[in-house]
Structure 1
Amino acid sequence: MRKSVLILFLILYGTTYGQDLTPAICVKGTSPVNRPGYASRPLEDSRLHDYDVNFYHLDISADNLSTDLDGSVRILATALKDPLAEMVLELTDALIIDRIEDLSTSSDIPFTHANDLVVITLPDPVTAGDPVDIRIYYHGTPPVDAGFFKGISSELDPDWNRRVTWTLSEPFNALDWWPTKQVLTDKADSAYIYITVPSSLKAGAAGTLSRITELPDNRSRYEWETRHPIAYYLISMAIADYQDYSYDVSLAGQPTFPVVNYIYDHPGTLPQYQDDLDQVGDMLELFSELFGPYPYSDEKYGHTMAPLGGGMEHQTMSTMDFFSFTIDAHELGHQWFGDHITCETWNDIWINEGFARYCEYLAIEFLIDENTARSWMDSRHQSILSAPLGSVYVPSGQADDPFRIFDGRLTYNKGGAILHMLRYLINNDDAFFQGLRTYLSAYGDDVATGEDFRDLMSAETGLDLTTFFNEWYFGQGNPVYDIIWEHRNDSLIVNARQSPSAAGGVAFFTTPMPVNAVLNGSDTLLRLVPASASETFKIYLPGEVNEITFDPDRYLVKRVNSITRAGVTGIEGLNTAGISVYPNPAKGYIQIQGGTEPLRLLQVMDMQGRILLQKENLSMTERTVYTGNLGPGIYLLLVNVGSQRYQQKILIE
């Protein structure tokens, strides 16, 4: 029984290559948001920044038949404001707070609960640096009309006929099921998640299962404990009639730890997914080699199943609708990128999703083969190019909208693709992966932005990556190329013209262009570094070039309009018209000399390809061109004479 993949709004269209390479889905949904205003988070209350969370202890009773909850949450925090007189938390108004206890005095303390905010009045103001220790007792049924983006769900998985209750808090939905502080920069230093369920069920969560405590009335408490920093949205629970399929992995330099899989207790589930589950051990070994040790080897990695339509990277225990090669790689990759390092703002969700998407590629490249990886990248590129604009960075004003945050084309696919381009730009796999390891070492257990990653990789590689990030991370669109080439006098001559994908996109991308020349039957890969939007390259290649291909390894996100071999008149961009320019360098004017035909077109462009001066149909006596309106600098002169074209850089002083 194969689970049909729910096509989410953020899924790219994938292709299967011998193995199940279904595109990974990470959070996220099909349904429009039904509760008014729920898709966009209200303005964050500034009082959430008045304290630092040290520890959460969730102690919740639930089952797999409803979203009804009854429990408490202990929060141990440190005051940052001096004095701290009140403490603010987030919790949906649909849940009822029974009381709040000050654990330092064992006394109840006053609070208000409205507009999804809990305002707690501390009995005595707390000095900055001092602890606050409270427990919130609450119960109720969370809202059920929030569309896909709701913190807790309880449904029947129709393919396996199993009831499941599970949570999915990313990005702003933890408040639907527990009182919390939804601030990315404040990871709790540790957390306990205790879940009491009917004894016929199992409950999965982050960390190590310290014990299962049997309770009266045929109930069991699953006591999960993590001692690693954890972001609020990575705290989770999943409850169902599970079977435990676990195995141990031993990775070089790390303690043996378990891969704990809570899958449906159905006779068909394990046979369906055992191979997929077993391959996670190979992925753990690969990613530990590429990125550094698995961050949670003193606890576990694992999965719980739930019909969420994809996967969610809950720390140490991803929640999965199904298992496949790419979704397994994606959610595992998140344990390094997203969980160990978390985006500092939702603008920088690329830190999570772009990296996890590229983990899919790396798993295919190293565990299957490079040809399959290239085909996979082709499919991602097709998705990116399905619209002409859009940045990987989530612009200001859109970072409160889950549908923009989890845009599959931009956040996931283009986010993964620019990492592949960065790897190509660095042109040294040892340096690229060492940079990733240094990045994880520098920002592990913390948060980071795109700029943090840019600056660290610049320092690690010695390359100034500012322009690359401005073009590909913050910028929009992609280059469109027209290529004309010829092989003459033992030289390969390539004229590459670049145009933006649409108005508003980056006008000129500086990324080196990979060109493969088939020389005497063998491949020769060239890196052509453009200085302008239209440029001619001449490379000494003795022998015979029969054909060229552009970007054979699928590094660049681009369109190629045409690749043409020049005819008998020669390649455009070469001086085949007998034209010259004087003076060069120029002061105030240039003069076009030579040739026997009128100039059909004359253009002067800047090095970004913008046309600054244009004249048409110049007679033989109209060859002097005033350049006094152009500032000092290097420009590109293009002249059409008859059917031929002359191109040259000119310096204006």
Structure 2
Amino acid sequence: MRHCFLVILGLLLTGPSASRAQAPPASSAALLSPAELAAAGRACALAHQRQTTDAQAVATASVRHRQKMDRYDVTWYKLDLALENNSRDISGSVRLRVRVGAQALDSLAFELYQAPVGAPAGTATLLLDSVVVAGRRAPGVLRQGHDATAALPQPAPAGAVLEARIYYHGTAPNGRSAAIGNAFNTATSYKMGGVTYPYNVTWSLSEPFSAHEWFPCKQVLTDKADSAAVSVTTTLPNKVGSNGVLRRTVLLPNNKVRYEWATRYPIDYYLISVAVAPYIEYVSYAHPAGGPAVPIVNYMYNQAALSYYQNELDRLPGFIENYSKLFGNYYFADEKYGLSLAPIGGGMEHQTMTTQDGLDFTLTAHELFHQWFGDNVTCASWEDIWLNEAFASYGEYLSLQAFLPANARGWMDAAQGFAHDNSTGSVRVPDTTSVGRIFSYNLTYKKGAAVVHLLRYLCHDDARFYRVLRTYQSQYRGRTARTADLQRLFEAELGQSLTYFFQQWYRGEGFPTFAVRWNQAGSSLALQVAETASVPASTPFFQTEVDYLLTFQDGSTRTIRLNQTQANQNFSLAVSGPVASIDVDPDGWLPDLPSTVQRDAALVVPPVSTALLVFPSPSHDQLTISNLPAASAAAEVIDATGRVVLRSPLPATALSTQALAPGLYYLRVFGAGGEVLGQAKFTRE
């Protein structure tokens, strides 16, 4: 979400600006230290934790009620509400159009907030006035807590399309059950630049389980509505920001006005939104290469707020164009993107119109990237919320790489540092009823982003990384997805199983540490690497590739990548000169804990093995070794994950590869004593 709410890793503070300006070039931005990045992010995380403490387990529908709701598929929501910018009072109706499942339906189950039994008089609650189906009033409505069931005037057959209009009124609760504060809230002021200004504004924020606190709905992630409409009647000069396109503005008697919004794209329940205030509008356009222009419609508090945030607002076209280039064109281009200001303590990625309490570089980049990861493709379970939040967090990093590259490495170092603060947790969410655990800043956002970065490293090629994610966006467009779906796409691209990777980094806990001993004799360099896992009971070993930076005495450098396939492993390689030092993971790809490196004169340096000449490559059924050492006794073939897939005696210069699947492999040839005599890399078609 970060909703990003807490995503605020405010890298840059934007000062007042009285006129439209382009985003400043990278060279004009002050470089922030990793410590400054960490401090900003940590302050935001603490604020988020404070706001979720009151409601750590708030799943709403009972299991039985969920089963009743699963008997139909939502196709359309139409909210028609009366709202003001100074109250949590709500009145109106919601039309719920559904398609009946495989069994006939005699009742319609949905969710709507109801104050607890025994609550004092005047406690905020939402009252059901009536439920009308096909012009006939439901003969009865049963309410048990937040679960509501309306009896249908007559059963609806399997496959039928049914439309119910639910009339209700009341006051939304002040329960702080949403990821940031209330599901529906109002405020009398906002802060900007450390100064508080009087201002009335009302807004919604439904993630993860709080949409029912302001409108009747079905809170099931996998049941996206095919489309939605939001009409709000309010008092002038209020404006209303919501999803999709503003189809019509209707002036009404008594200084009232109705704003009619609609979206024709699939939308999850928690992404439906409203924001009500006397906003002013600021419009710009993005022009992605090969795609339609994207209108960017921003609702700002007033001219002072527009001037203050204008430089950051003017970054949005470039952000959209960059994300479109990498992940596919913005999917809601024929509607809009934009944001509505509200003092929510961060941001929330409402579809096509984010709600934010302000603008800074990373918050704005994060919320926008959710339109791809979270809105277009939504996680199918809160267990997999990293598919939304980790990727949106990584969007911050990608935007820094594109526009403020000097800050990108510091951002990633800080993210990995936050992840290390929760060494015993997993990216996977084991308790999907806990709001605090779902939106763990350190695990869901920061460790998740570090895992995305590691997936990019695993691809060996940015083109492959982006190709997988473009496929993910197109294949699951307008739908929901699980981690297993993403895993299958990466496996198809890389031609190998990644079960080990997701077991370690998604389900597992902790991080690896590498202790490196090295020595050199002539042109032979030996490394002995001992890996230790910080939470061995969960993840005893991390199989991973690791980069090592060799710095030579003449000042030149060379980076080598070695595959750590066991906890204690020896490597030997040829070098061109005396080595002065070795650094582990110099570019910060791995979220590993600090490593140690020392030269050990007692470490035996074996002679460097011969680089074998093999052909053909790609091979089919047989691989020939043209310079096979005379003492060769056996061959071993290792796949790209480090797994030994073939061991064979080697009496001749040819090796049968018929049993190997297509992919990249490494060949090692051993002598009778087990010593490595030669090695080579080849591919099998």
Answer yes or no: same fold by TM over 0.5: yes
Per the alignment, residue 309 of structure 1 pairs with 345
Once the two structures are superposed, residues 114-144 of structure 1 have per-residue CA deviations (whole angstroms, 9 ceiling, x without a partner) of 3111101111111111011110111110112
Contact 1:59 / 1:71 at 8 angstroms: preserved in 2?
yes
Where do residues 1-12 of structure 1 align in structure 2 (5 Å cutoff)? none
Structure 2 letter corresponding to 1:345: S
Contact 2:80 / 2:92 at 8 angstroms: preserved in 1?
yes
Distance in 2 of aligned mates of 1:311 and 1:466: 34
Per the alignment, residue 394 of structure 1 pairs with 429
In the alignment, structure 1 residue 553 sits paired with structure 2 residue 587: yes
Contact 1:29 / 1:149 at 8 angstroms: preserved in 2?
no
Contact 2:391 / 2:449 at 8 angstroms: preserved in 1?
yes
In the alignment, structure 1 residue 464 sits paired with structure 2 residue 497: yes
In the alignment, structure 1 residue 238 sits paired with structure 2 residue 257: no
Cα distance change, pair 121–170 in 1 and its aligned pair in 2 (3 A): same
Structure 2 letter corresponding to 1:507: P
Per the alignment, residue 189 of structure 2 pairs with 157
Per the alignment, residue 140 of structure 1 pairs with 170
Structure 2 letter corresponding to 1:133: E
Distance in 1 of aligned mates of 2:161 and 2:31: 53
Q: 1:528 aligns to what SS in structure 2?
A: strand
Once the two structures are superposed, residues 55-99 of structure 1 have per-residue CA deviations (whole angstroms, 9 ceiling, x without a partner) of 000011111111001110001100014111111000001101111
Distance in 2 of aligned mates of 1:230 and 1:19: 39
Per the alignment, residue 411 of structure 2 pairs with 376
In the alignment, structure 1 residue 100 sits paired with structure 2 residue 131: yes
Per the alignment, residue 169 of structure 1 pairs with 206
Cα distance change, pair 172–431 in 1 and its aligned pair in 2 (3 A): same
Match of 1:251 among 248, 269, 288: 288
Q: Percent identity?
A: 38
Q: 1:559 aligns to what SS in structure 2?
A: coil
Q: 1:30 aligns to what SS in structure 2?
A: helix
In the alignment, structure 1 residue 528 sits paired with structure 2 residue 562: yes
Distance in 2 of aligned mates of 1:13 and 1:565: 39
**Per-residue deviation, 1:565:** 2.0
Structure 1 letter corresponding to 2:51: S
**Per-residue deviation, 1:442:** 0.7
Contact 2:130 / 2:137 at 8 angstroms: preserved in 1?
no
Cα distance change, pair 358–190 in 1 and its aligned pair in 2 (3 A): same
Distance in 2 of aligned mates of 1:505 and 1:108: 53
**Per-residue deviation, 1:32:** 4.7
Cα distance change, pair 39–105 in 1 and its aligned pair in 2 (3 A): closer
Per the alignment, residue 126 of structure 1 pairs with 156
Per the alignment, residue 387 of structure 2 pairs with 351
Contact 2:7 / 2:346 at 8 angstroms: preserved in 1?
no
Once the two structures are superposed, residues 600-623 of structure 1 have per-residue CA deviations (whole angstroms, 9 ceiling, x without a partner) of xxxxxxx99xxxxxxxxxxxxxxx
Structure 2 letter corresponding to 1:259: I
Q: 1:246 aligns to what SS in structure 2?
A: strand
Greater CA drift, 297-306 or 242-251: 242-251
Distance in 2 of aligned mates of 1:128 and 1:65: 44
Match of 2:485 among 452, 456, 460: 452
Where do residues 470-481 of structure 1 align in structure 2 (5 Å cutoff)? 470-481=503-514
Greater CA drift, 15-24 or 414-423: 15-24
Match of 2:474 among 441, 452, 456: 441
Per the alignment, residue 358 of structure 2 pairs with 322
Contact 1:14 / 1:376 at 8 angstroms: preserved in 2?
no
Contact 1:479 / 1:498 at 8 angstroms: preserved in 2?
yes
Distance in 1 of aligned mates of 2:508 and 2:331: 33
Match of 1:43 among 48, 56, 62: 62
Distance in 1 of aligned mates of 2:349 and 2:304: 25
Match of 1:290 among 317, 320, 326: 326
Distance in 2 of aligned mates of 1:40 and 1:134: 25
Once the two structures are superposed, residues 263-284 of structure 1 have per-residue CA deviations (whole angstroms, 9 ceiling, x without a partner) of 111x431121111111011000
Where do residues 555-574 of structure 1 align in structure 2 (5 Å cutoff)? 555-566=589-600, 568-570=601-603
Structure 2 letter corresponding to 1:55: W
Distance in 2 of aligned mates of 1:233 and 1:136: 18
Distance in 2 of aligned mates of 1:7 and 1:235: 14
Once the two structures are superposed, residues 339-359 of structure 1 have per-residue CA deviations (whole angstroms, 9 ceiling, x without a partner) of 000000010101100110111
**Per-residue deviation, 1:319:** 0.4
Q: 1:268 aligns to what SS in structure 2?
A: helix
Contact 1:85 / 1:122 at 8 angstroms: preserved in 2?
yes
Structure 1 letter corresponding to 2:256: R
Per the alignment, residue 113 of structure 1 pairs with 143
In the alignment, structure 1 residue 331 sits paired with structure 2 residue 331: no
Q: 1:383 aligns to what SS in structure 2?
A: helix
Where do residues 214-233 of structure 1 align in structure 2 (5 Å cutoff)? 214-233=251-270
Contact 1:262 / 1:303 at 8 angstroms: preserved in 2?
yes
Q: 2:374 aligns to what SS in structure 1?
A: coil
Contact 2:61 / 2:146 at 8 angstroms: preserved in 1?
no
Distance in 2 of aligned mates of 1:240 and 1:312: 17
Contact 2:244 / 2:264 at 8 angstroms: preserved in 1?
yes
In the alignment, structure 1 residue 190 sits paired with structure 2 residue 227: yes
TM-score normalised to structure 1 length = 0.83
5+ residue gaps in structure 1? 1-5, 576-583, 586-606, 609-646
Greater CA drift, 455-464 or 221-230: 455-464
Q: 2:442 aligns to what SS in structure 1?
A: helix
Structure 1 letter corresponding to 2:131: I
Q: 1:410 aligns to what SS in structure 2?
A: helix
Cα distance change, pair 277–13 in 1 and its aligned pair in 2 (3 A): closer
Root mean square deviation, CA, Å? 2.6
Match of 1:494 among 502, 527, 532: 527
Contact 1:33 / 1:149 at 8 angstroms: preserved in 2?
no
Once the two structures are superposed, residues 228-271 of structure 1 have per-residue CA deviations (whole angstroms, 9 ceiling, x without a partner) of 00000000001112110111222222222310110111x43112
Greater CA drift, 255-264 or 279-288: 255-264
**Per-residue deviation, 1:443:** 0.7
Distance in 2 of aligned mates of 1:171 and 1:542: 57
Per the alignment, residue 407 of structure 1 pairs with 440
Contact 1:304 / 1:319 at 8 angstroms: preserved in 2?
yes
Contact 1:334 / 1:352 at 8 angstroms: preserved in 2?
yes
Match of 2:97 among 76, 84, 99: 76
Distance in 1 of aligned mates of 2:457 and 2:593: 18
Contact 2:515 / 2:529 at 8 angstroms: preserved in 1?
yes
Match of 1:30 among 38, 46, 50: 50
Kindly indicate whether structure 1 or structure 2 has the higher relative contact order, using CA contacts under 8 Å at least 6 residues apart: 2
Once the two structures are superposed, residues 431-484 of structure 1 have per-residue CA deviations (whole angstroms, 9 ceiling, x without a partner) of 110110011111110000001100111112223211111110111111011112
Distance in 1 of aligned mates of 2:242 and 2:495: 42
- Report the number of matched residues: 569
Contact 2:419 / 2:442 at 8 angstroms: preserved in 1?
yes
Once the two structures are superposed, residues 16-53 of structure 1 have per-residue CA deviations (whole angstroms, 9 ceiling, x without a partner) of 67279765979955235547x86344534211101000
Contact 1:29 / 1:309 at 8 angstroms: preserved in 2?
no
**Per-residue deviation, 1:162:** 1.5
Distance in 2 of aligned mates of 1:305 and 1:289: 28
Cα distance change, pair 243–258 in 1 and its aligned pair in 2 (3 A): same
Per the alignment, residue 63 of structure 1 pairs with 84
Contact 1:10 / 1:407 at 8 angstroms: preserved in 2?
no
Cα distance change, pair 152–126 in 1 and its aligned pair in 2 (3 A): same
Q: 1:123 aligns to what SS in structure 2?
A: strand
Once the two structures are superposed, residues 524-548 of structure 1 have per-residue CA deviations (whole angstroms, 9 ceiling, x without a partner) of 1111101210112111111122222
Greater CA drift, 441-450 or 520-529: 520-529
